Amino acid sequence: MLLEVKNLTKIYENKPIIRNINLKINKGDIYTLIGPSGAGKSTLLRIIDLLEKPSSGEIIFNGVQTGNLNKSQEVNLRRRMALLHQKVTLFNMSVFDNVAYGLSLRGVQSNIIRRKVQEALLKVGLAELEKQNATLLSGGEAQRTALARCMVLEPELLLLDEPTANLDPPNISLIEALIKDMNKEMGTTIIIATHNMSQAKRLDGRVGFILNGEILEEGEAQAIFSKPSSDRIRAFIDGVIV
């Protein structure tokens, strides 16, 4: 098992954001967290990436308890994951330097960086823009650059927070194909947060339905969507505000 989340709770300003979540993710899994905006998906991903501390509960990554790590152990563990934030932020530097950033932090040799970055940019279809300043990219290009920046790190666990929100259909297809490729070719374990049900079906993995900080149901995508166990899930699937 790559990741275990045990009885995780996060309370922020007396409001529970995450309530007693338990998750088990195996190596090579694609796990889709589905739920409406404000359900707690982003917070859960941020806690898994050790960017936030939980109020209670545990995150166990590859057998390592993450609760009592010191700063440098935390950075070392975080370097085995990559999180694509919901709000994509590219640095004010070239597309190439953006994608190379994580590798240069790890002290990777420049010729290896060049090879990996160029391979990744080719995959996301941005090879021609490598010298372009990244802050001038379009939404789809920016999202692909940010994904390439995570891909080059070859993380064991890739956390994707709404990676296709606000994108057009061609960009959505491309990003979904890249996610599947990473999972298949490199065996990357992926947790993806989305509110898009058809995306969850297309990615075809395990699905966790999250609402008000709780995972209400877990299972295969097709099964959950065809036979939801509770009215609240059915209401979301049917497009009713819950």
Partner 1 sequence: MGDPIIDGIINALILLFTGDPATWQVIFLSLRVSGLAVAFASMLGVPIGVIIGMNNFFGKNTIISLINTLMGLPPVVVGLVVFLLISRTGPLGSLSLLYTPTAIMIGQIIIATPIIAGVTLAGVSSIDISVIETAKSLGATRSQTWALIVREARVSILSGVAVGFGQSISEVGASMMLGGNIEGFTRVMTTDIVLQTSQGNYGQALALGLILIIIAFIINSLVLTRLQLRSKKLAGRRIMSIRLIPVK
Q: Which residues bind partner 1 (CB under 8 A)?
A: 49, 51, 71-72, 75, 78-79, 81-83, 85, 87, 89, 91-93, 101-102, 105-106, 128-129, 132-133, 135-136, 149-150, 153
Q: Contact 18/212 with Cβ under 8 angstroms?
A: no
In the DSSP assignment, the letter for residue 128 is G
Structure tokens at 128: 């021609």
**Cβ nearer to partner 1, comparing 15 with 71:** 71
Compute the least distance from the CB of residue 41 to partner 1, in Å.
Answer: 16
C-beta closer to partner 1: residue 72 or 109: 72
**Residue number, 91 or 122, with CB nearest to partner 1:** 91
Q: Is 213 helix (H, G, I), strand (E, B) or coil?
A: coil
- Tell me the closest approach of the beta carbon of residue 35 to partner 1, in angstroms: 21
Nearest distance from C-beta of residue 22 to partner 1, angstroms:
24
49 secondary structure, DSSP code: T
Nearest approach in angstroms of CB 182 to partner 1 is 16
Question: Which of 78, 46, 34, 32 has the alpha carbon at shortest distance from 179?
Answer: 32
Residues near 216 by Cβ (< 8 Å), separated by ≥ 6?
A: 209, 210, 229, 230, 232, 233
Q: Is the dihedral of CA 72, 118, 135, 157 positive or negative?
A: negative
Cα 196 to Cα 201: distance, rounded to the nearest angstrom: 9
CB of 140 or CB of 228, closer to partner 1: 140
Q: How far is the CB of 26 from partner 1 (least distance, A)?
A: 23
Rounded Cα distance between 147 and 173, Å, is 14
Of the pair 80, 201, the CB lying nearest partner 1 is at 80
- Nearest approach in angstroms of CB 136 to partner 1 is 5
Token code pair at residue 152: 């080059």
Residue 94 or residue 118: which is nearer to partner 1 going by CB? 94
